[in-house]
């Protein structure tokens, strides 16, 4: 699978995007002005956001798509490799794939922000989020769900779908919380920074799906 073709921007514009994502993740899109984004990015021209992106909403939309494309690419690449080896063979394996492919392999110096950004946006501006995604960039997510359904033949499909809905919401919330904790540089976070914690998150989410029917 080829890497996603992102909109190529200048270094200055890419820096603006990274700074804006951090601010939006911390304060929400309504709590940040284009002037604040420009100042935080070290731009003397406060119209920099408008110059590079057109408007704050256009910037938000580009950030949504950039992150969603990257995650979808990572998920599909992971699934291609897993399927080539006969997997995923367990619900836990499929869920752990979802968890680990939700992370940015090359985050900025201040850490990951995308999950916080998207979770907050989904709560406050869901229509904007869904419109920006255009029903795209979720093929890997849906592929993982199909594997989970395949691996849970003993449960009614309606019940499995309900649990997948709950699990997806929990996944976003937990990873957003993890990002928030790791963004606090005032103290160490040995649990949240440990790779084994990602496995425990996966185990907890898988348990939500695999619990026996009453």
Distance CA 88, CA 97 (A): 9
Task: Give the C-alpha separation, 14 to 210, whole Å.
Answer: 42
Mean pLDDT of the chain: 94
From CA 179, how far away is CA 208, in angstroms rounded?
22
Average pLDDT of 112-139?
96
Mind listing the pLDDT tens digit for each residue in 78-91?
999 999 999 999 99
Tokens of 133: 């995604």
Determine the pLDDT at residue 214: 82
Own/partner contacts of 109-113, CB < 8 Å, gap of 24 or more, are 110/22, 110/183, 111/179, 111/182, 111/183, 112/179, 112/182, 113/21, 113/22, 113/24, 113/25, 113/179, 113/183
pTM: 0.92
Does residue 84 contact residue 78 with C-beta atoms inside 8 Å?
no
pLDDT band at 9 (very low <50, low <70, confident <90, very high): confident
What local confidence, expressed as pLDDT, does residue 143 receive?
A: 97
Domains by residue range for the chain, with CATH: 57-210 (1.10.357.10)
Residue 1 pLDDT > 80: no
Q: Which helix (H) or strand (E) holds 164?
A: helix 157-183
**C-alpha 80 chain-centroid distance:** 20
């Amino acid at each position: 699978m080829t890497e996603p073709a992102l909109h190529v921007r200048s270094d200055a514009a890419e820096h603006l995007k990274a700074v804006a994502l951090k601010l939006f993740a911390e304060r929400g899109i309504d709590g940040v002005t284009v002037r604040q984004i420009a100042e935080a990015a070290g731009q003397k021209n406060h119209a920099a956001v408008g110059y590079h992106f057109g408007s704050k909403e256009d910037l938000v939309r580009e950030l949504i798509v950039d992150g969603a494309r990257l995650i979808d690419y990572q998920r599909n690449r992971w699934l291609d490799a897993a399927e080539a080896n006969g997997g995923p063979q367990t619900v836990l394996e499929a869920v752990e794939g979802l968890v680990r492919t939700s992370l940015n392999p090359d985050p900025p110096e201040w850490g990951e922000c995308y999950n916080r950004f998207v979770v907050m946006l989904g709560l406050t501006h869901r229509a904007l989020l869904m419109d920006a995604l255009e029903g795209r960039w979720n093929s890997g997510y849906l592929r993982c769900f199909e594997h989970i359904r395949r691996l849970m033949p003993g449960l009614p499909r309606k019940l499995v779908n309900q649990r997948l809905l709950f699990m997806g919401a929990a996944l976003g919330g937990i990873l957003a919380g993890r990002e928030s904790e790791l963004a606090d540089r005032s103290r160490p976070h040995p649990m949240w920074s440990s790779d084994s914690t990602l496995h425990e998150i996966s185990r907890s989410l898988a348990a939500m799906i695999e619990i026996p029917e009453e």
